[in-house]
Amino acid sequence: MDAPDQTTGRKHLLIRRHSLTVRLSHWLNVLCMTVLLFSGLQIFNAHPALYWGQYGADADPSFVSMEAVDEDGATRGVTRIGRLSFDTTGVLGLSNVDGEPTARGFPDWMTLPSYQDLATGRRWHFFFAWLFVINGLVYVAYGFLARHFRRDLVPTRDELAPAHLARDIADHARLRFPKGEKARHYNALQKLAYLLVIFVALPVMIATGLTMSPGFDAFAPWLLDLFGGRQSARTLHFITASSLVAFVVVHVIMVLVSGLFNNMRSMITGRYAIETEPQVNTGANMEGKP
């Protein structure tokens, strides 16, 4: 369907961009990842520190921690990363709960539930984790069977050329987004980012999450060897989850600046509007002209 733009003479063509399976999977992922993030921070708050390998007991030092520290009669929140320490009072390590300074890794407004309750947080986290895995398996199966990955996400050889990638990076940095026929498809950076998330970040996050389960370790003890211990798996789980949050933040920003209505419509109805060049009449078909 073409809709003319009276100001530019251009027309907007509605194309089919996202299938029903992709759209349903996307919105279910939004729900799952939101609950997983907030419930995961609730679980992290039970011991707001990260270690590597088999460490974590007998007062072994952590390389990341969020804690409340008493100094000179005052309590403040301190976040430590390696040898660096930062005063994060009011946000990390020490935050206000019902008007009282309370030792907490992350503040109550970032956890599910808001109050300290490890058992409830674990129930929320595990339920939505398995829903997330099932949804992901359905999406991956669809991606291969319907050739969604090959058609929409695998970059071509030309797109992987250094000059092409450099141009895509420059366009993104300048917030220049594709128009016309180029807007029908993801660019190389988008394709690489989605493939990295789908086939690297998410599998690592799921595998490290399973490694933290003693029951699953009994079934697959090789996971402990693969990640170097339960504590290093916990650290990788936290880092991977944080990288996914960063990806989502960038993704949302790009959705906003490249056209919120058009992008939301494509993920709700599957239809996406692209600009088409106005048709130019030639002298041969103009009335009264040779």
Average pLDDT over residues 77-103: 91
- Is the domain of 14 the same as that of 72? no
Residues 152, 269, single domain; the answer is yes
Nearest to 8 by CA among 277, 272, 263: 277
Can you tell me the distance from the alpha carbon of 200 to that of 241, in angstroms, rounded to the nearest whole number?
Answer: 12
- Mean pLDDT is lowest, of 19-23, 38-42, 204-208, 277-281, for 277-281
**pLDDT the model gives residue 289:** 42
Owning domain of residue 272: 2-19+146-276
Tokens (6 digits) for 198: 């789908």
Residue 45 has a pLDDT of 95
pLDDT at 62 over 60: yes
Distance CA 68, CA 89 (A): 8
Into how many domains does the chain fold?
A: 2
- Assess whether 80 and 9 both reside in one domain: no
Instruction: Clarify whether residues 66 and 176 are in a common domain.
Output: no
Structure tokens at 170: 């420059």
**Residues 100, 202 share a domain:** no
Q: Do 264 and 186 share a structural domain?
A: yes
More confident position, 94 or 14:
94
- Which two three-digit tokens encode residue 224? 């402990």
Whether residue 159 is found in the same domain as residue 271: yes
Same domain, 201 and 85: no
Q: Is residue 270 part of a domain?
A: yes
pLDDT given at position 284: 46
Residues 225 and 184 in one domain: yes
Contact call for residues 90 and 29 (beta carbons, < 8 A): no
Distances (CA, A) of 71 to 44, 75, 121: 25, 6, 32
